[in-house]
Amino acid sequence: MRILVFALFLSATSLHTFAQTQPKLVVGIVVDQMRMDYIYRYWDKYSENGFKKLMNEGFTCKNAHYNYIPTYTGPGHASIFTGATPMNHGIIANDWFDKASDKSLYCVSDSLAKSVGTNNEQGKMSPSHLLAPTLGDAFKISTQFRGKSIGVSIKDRAAILPAGHSADAAYWMDFETGNFITSNHYMNSLPKWASRFNSEKHADELAKEGWQTLLAIEKYTESTEDNTPYEKVYNKNGYPVFPYDLPQLIKDKSYYAFANSPYGNTIVRQFAEQAIINEDLGDDEFIDLLTISFSSPDIIGHAFGPQSIEIEDTYIRLDLEVAQLIASLNERIGKENYTLFLTADHAAAQVPSYLKDHKIPTNYFETDRFLEELKAHLNSSLGQGRWLLNYSNQQIFLNHALIASKNLETDLVLDEIKTFALSFKGVANALSSSQLQHPLPSDQFAFMAQRGWNPLRSGDMVIQFLAGWMEYGHQGTTHGSSYNYDSHVPIIFYGFGINQGVELEPVEITQIAPTISIVTSTAFPMLSDHRPISKAIIQP
Ligand SMILES: [Zn+2]
């Protein structure tokens, strides 16, 4: 009896004991343009130690979606790591029309910044346009800035936005030299290990044999044949087919051609491993963040589309990079000492011309004709004038000075535009800024447009295309819409503090940040969503 009482006492006290523990390192992996169905479609081709290991030992959200538009790279990375949407973090697109300067602005451009590691302007970047702190900033504050935050990617925006404002470093590729560079927002010269890595010319070494398929080409049964009219052509022979002569393509088109191959993922993984070793990530009691964004799948996806052998080969090889990274982390840091998550910054549409040939209704939106006819319509109904200052990211920016000088109501002009837009082929809906600032009916487009609309930066009207329609050339594909094909991405957690399991209920992309905050016992990033994915977290 005494033993039983003692045991009850023990279990009762353990119920009230909170463990203030945290991992030493968080690794946030973003695969640019990864659709959830790439997990299913290529499953039999994956190794046991990459995606399958993360899913078998970790926690997978099978029904995770973006909760705003546009579904682009800059906003995607900002939203994953701030736990907020463009409405609050301000990264409303990759490039947007800046109302104050009447010019287009790039999401991580910084005219005051200086390049570090290159003589050209590709390093004039910083997170200055990001209006919210990230997980990296939250970790920094929680450790009196003794923990480290480092971002690595091919694309500047995919390295800079995740790592945060107070990051130690963000490294991205200079397409002129193939080197990893940074800006003086972080440091005044590259660390020795990064300069050494650059001097070893890994891009040239990886590219020298060209891009061949990893498996025999007839094994790519989850894709169309190699030569289709739905893909962009880079080869001199005029066909979108293997092999790709990378050394020649690099000579002709810069290292962007290297990034348009799976070796772009290899070099990012190699550089990230060097960062772990040389920056002692996960080595002390101050929690560190390493963000690794694989940009090449997006560049390849835009060129060849989701049904191509090029994309299948990219994911079979990416699985091996993920396996290598997990092996390195487990060996150096130990699985019990780090938490990893893997997600995507957006997904992608099927190539419209491909679906159209299979009788599925899709098409290409004629932007130039739309704008021409819209301007003519406004000139005839309201009088001659430059009524539109800009159209970008499916948003219309009105000339408010002209509207005021003519003593017109803005809503009247917007009603004219909406009536015209709804009569134009391919338009599904159009919402005005005033509609986006009021409670809306529970329509998915309205919900996502509202969360993507920032009062300081966004336009006066957002246009929605019909499902399957896009503004793009007839080869390759893009993304940006509110539809499932652009919003549905994987979210997988693995390692310290993570349950084994699956979530089938809908999850929103902004729930990653608070989940990591809870797992790491740190404060939420300032503007973060406060709905962690509870089932993923081991309860203390
Ligand atoms: Zn893209």
Q: What is the pLDDT of residues 193-203, one digit of tens each?
A: 999 999 999 99
* CATH fold of the domain at 25-351+482-536: Alkaline Phosphatase, subunit A (3.40.720)
Query: What CA–CA distance (Å, rounded) separates 18 from 365?
Result: 56
Q: What protein residues have CB closer than 5 angstroms to ion ligand 1?
A: 298
d(CA 458, CA 414): 15
Closest CA to 153 of 259, 11, 50, 14: 259
pLDDT confidence of 237, banded at 50, 70, 90? confident
Report the separation in Å between the CA atom of 129 and the middle of ligand 1, taken as the mean of its atom positions. 20
The count of other CB atoms within 10 Å of the CB of residue 284 is 13
CA distance 344 to 341: 10
Q: Strand 388-392 relative to strand 95-98: parallel, antiparallel, unpaired?
A: unpaired
| Residue 10 pLDDT | 47
DSSP-derived letter for residue 125 is: B
In degrees, to the nearest 5, what angle opens at C-alpha 54 toward C-alphas 49 and 60? 150
| pLDDT 10s digits, 15-37 | 556 666 899 999 999 999 999 99
Beta-carbon contacts of 397 under 8 Å, excluding residues fewer than 6 positions away, are: 97, 99, 388, 389, 390, 391, 459, 460
Q: Distance (Å, rounded) from C-alpha 87 to C-alpha 288?
A: 28
60 catalytic? Reply is no
pLDDT at 19: 61
Give the residue from 402, 153, 186, 88 showing the smallest Cα distance to 292.
Answer: 153
Q: Quick one: average pLDDT of 356-362?
A: 96
**Ligand 1 centre distance from Cα of residue 401 (Å):** 35
CA of 347 to the centre of ligand 1 (A): 9
Say what the pLDDT of residue 477 is.
Answer: 97
Average of per-residue pLDDT across 393-403: 97
Tell me if the pTM is above 0.75.
yes
- CA 24 to centroid of ligand 1, rounded, Å: 32
User: What three-state secondary structure class fits 30?
Assistant: strand
Other C-beta atoms closer than 10 Å to the C-beta of 46 total 21
- Name the active-site residue from 73, 266, 343, 522: 73
Alpha helices (runs of H) in 164-235, residue ranges in sequence order: 192-199, 202-207
Strands in 142-287 per DSSP E? 149-153, 169-174, 179-183
pLDDT at position 304, please? 98
**Helix H or strand E segment including 105:** strand 103-106
Could you tell me the fold of the domain covering 366-425+427-465?
Gyrase A; domain 2 (3.30.1360)
Neighbours of 186 (CB within 10 A): 22
Residues with Cβ within 8 Å of 439's Cβ and at least 6 positions away in sequence, in order, are none
C-alpha to C-alpha distance for 118 and 11, rounded to whole angstroms: 61
Res 438: pLDDT: 82
Q: What is the DSSP letter of 539?
A: P
State how far the Cα of 240 lies from the Cα of 303, in Å rounded to an integer: 9
Instruction: Return the domain boundaries, the chain.
Output: 25-351+482-536, 366-425+427-465
> How many Å lie between the centroid of ligand 1 and the Cα of residue 478?
6
